[in-house]
Amino acid sequence: MNTIGKRIRFARKSNNLSLTDVNALTGLSTGNLSELENDKFSPSANALIALKKVLNVSIDWILTGNDSNNNSTTICEQQSLYLSDKEKELIELYRTIPKENQRDLLGYLNVISVVEKKNT
Q: What is the CATH number of the domain that holds 50?
A: 1.10.260.40
- Please give the tally of structural domains in the chain: 2
- What b/e readout covers 23-39, taking b as 16+ CB neighbours within 10 angstroms? beebebeeebbeebbee
CB 11 within 8 A of CB 62: yes
Give which of 70, 47, 55 is closest to 10, Cα–Cα.
55
**Are 16 and 67 contained in the same domain?**
yes
pTM for this model (two decimals): 0.59
CB 23 within 8 A of CB 35: no
Q: Are residues 49 and 2 in the same domain?
A: yes
**pLDDT tens series, the chain, 120 aa:** 789 999 999 999 988 899 999 999 999 999 999 999 999 999 999 999 999 999 989 999 999 988 765 543 444 544 444 567 788 888 888 889 988 898 999 999 889 988 888 887
